[in-house]
Amino acid sequence: MAASEGISIDQLRGLSERAGLALKNEELTALKPMFDYYAKQIRVLFEIELDAEDLAVMYSPNWDPQS
């Protein structure tokens, strides 16, 4: 992945500041490739077209199949 792809350092700085983090330039530079990688993976999840039956998944830790 080329360095020019993905989020800019200034955008990443803005996101980190909104999250309450004050990261140094070196930290932002080290974080950027990881952010770009996971942002690409998350984008794929947002593009999934689910049918109506795929929308409702429920987990109940107290459910008893015997009842």
Is the pTM here over 0.75, yes or no? no
The domain limits of the chain are 9-48
Cβ neighbours for 12, distance < 8 A, ≥ 6 positions apart: 28, 31, 32, 35
Q: Which is more confidently placed, 48 or 66?
A: 48
CA distances from residue 62 to 3, 58, 65 in whole angstroms, order as listed: 49, 12, 10
For 1-62, where are the alpha helices, taking DSSP H only? 9-18, 25-46
Higher pLDDT, 49 or 11: 11
Are residues 36 and 15 in contact, defined by beta-carbon separation less than 8 angstroms? no
The string of pLDDT tens digits covering residues 17-49 is 999 999 999 999 999 999 999 999 998 888 887
